[in-house]
Amino acid sequence: MDKMFEMMKSMMVKLETLDEIKERILCVEKDVKQMKDSIEFVHAEVNDLKDEDEKTKRSDEENRRKIRELEDTNQRRKRKHNDVKQMKDSTEFVHAEVNELKDEDEKTKRSDEENRRKIHELEDTNRRLQESVVDLKPRSMRDNLLFFNVKKDEKENTTEKIYDILEQNLEIFYARSKVKIDCSHRVGRKRVSQRKPRAIVVKFNYFQDREQVRQNARKLKGSRIGIAEQFPEEIEKIRQTLHPEMKKAKAQGHRVRNDVLSMCWKENPEDRPDFQSLRDTLYKILYCKEISQTSAYNEEIVNGPLKSNVIASEEDVNENELLI
């Protein structure tokens, strides 16, 4: 019995142990199930975390891209700000330059006005001086005559040649004792290829002697020697423009009064006539009702450069016309 009891007791202990084991197994299974559920949850969490991590990575890349864009934008903004600042400084500098230029322009305008005033005064002074010079020129030439086509010799004495012409051609006897010549010389530059002899300008001591010689100039007709009064260029220019009209009038058989040419000079510069008024006066003297168009109206002749009075007078002598 005792054995049986012991066996029963041992069996009961074993059964209790089995129950405990069973309970433990159940607990372990429960724990394993919980662990499995937990592991599955963890796997789900890990997958979610991976997805979140991917999203975070993409978001980080997008954020970094945006940050780079913002940095670039910020750099551009800074550059634009610097450019705007430089433009502002440049604009202020330009405004300052413009103000300085305005001041300089005002000064220049005032200076130009002052210069124009001075130039006007100088031109007026120059005009008066020229009028004075033109007034003095004929006075200094009043006692002068020009002799053309007088043969030139080596080591010649022009005064002796003139005395020979006065005594032999103009029949002013004893001219060496009656007519006093202050000086004489050839005019113009000497040229080797010059065919015609240069004219001789003669200054007489007395105006009466000069007039006596001039009034006897017609006796030189046919001798190729000519005599002409000496005029300044300003007067000679008007005489040259009027001369074609006189030639035309002579060709038409009119008698031309030489005192018309003397109208080229007046004591007062304001009283000196221009070419048109001289020409009209000439035709009034000739009693012409109409004034024809002639070469003298050519602007190149009226306003062109003046030939020297020596050349013009030589041409007149070649045409057998005496300018007296």
pLDDT in tens, 294-307: 333 333 333 433 33
Handedness of CA 202, 205, 206, 212 (dihedral sign): negative
Statement: the pTM of the whole predicted model exceeds 0.75: no
Residue 185 CA to its chain's centroid (Å): 46
**Residues 127-143: tens digit of each pLDDT:** 888 777 777 777 888 89
- State the average pLDDT over residues 222-226: 88
CB 239 within 8 A of CB 231: yes
Euclidean distance between CA atoms 68 and 54, whole angstroms: 21
- State the average pLDDT over residues 225-246: 80
- State the average pLDDT over residues 240-245: 76
Architecture of domain 144-230: 2-Layer Sandwich (3.30)
- pLDDT above 90 covers a percentage of the chain that reads 22
- Average of per-residue pLDDT values in the chain: 77
Domain-wise residue ranges, the chain: 77-141, 144-230, 231-297
Write down how long the chain is: 324
DSSP 75: H
